[in-house]
Amino acid sequence: MPAYRPSTPPPPPPASARELITAHGGRVTRTRVAVIDVLLGSQHPLSHDEIAAALDGEHIAHDRVTLYRALEWLVEQGIAQRIASGERAWRFEIRRGGEHRHAHFHCERCGQILCLEDVPTPASAPLPPGFAVERAELVLHGACAACGRHAQKGEQ
């Protein structure tokens, strides 16, 4: 599923997995490279499970725990970010273009997540004194086009 971006220019091409890892002082390992490649190749955030399936599809051996730890490291290093997307499992996406943070759409019928590249997450809000916002998550829940059509048919 592609990201929906009605007008903005495409983001800059991301660095290679190897570059990303060494730039952060990490070791270049099979699982890390494969995970980054999978995330780079996806236009929407992926769950641990979906990433594991992608690795299986490419016949890249991997351990469940190692995969969790690779993802954890990517988030720690700021290479990827975690999204709490309505379902119980986290989803992960590569951070593209610096501090850019967009909202997400979650289809409650089919579970898909779509990046809303042109909907920014609000960076500030009236907060009590002393509170500091570091990041924001905005998730819109509803029905995607395909699921909306199905529902209409069913309701007639």
Q: Which residues bind its own copies (CB under 8 A)?
A: 4, 6, 84-86, 88, 103, 105, 108, 114, 116, 118-119, 121-122, 125-146, 148-149
Q: Do 140 and 103 touch, CB atoms closer than 8 A?
A: yes
Shortest Å, Cβ 116 to its own copies: 6
Residue 32 or 106: the one with the smaller Cβ distance to its own copies is 106
Residue 22 to residues 2, 3, 61, 74, 92, Cα–Cα distance (Å): 29, 28, 22, 12, 20
Shortest Å, Cβ 120 to DNA: 25
For position 32 contacting DNA by CB under 7 A, the verdict is yes
Instruction: Compute the radius of gyration of the chain from its Cα atoms.
Output: 17
Shortest Å, Cβ 138 to its own copies: 5
- Calculate helix-pair angle for 48-57, 30-40, nearest 10 degrees: 100
Residue 12 or 126: the one with the smaller Cβ distance to its own copies is 126
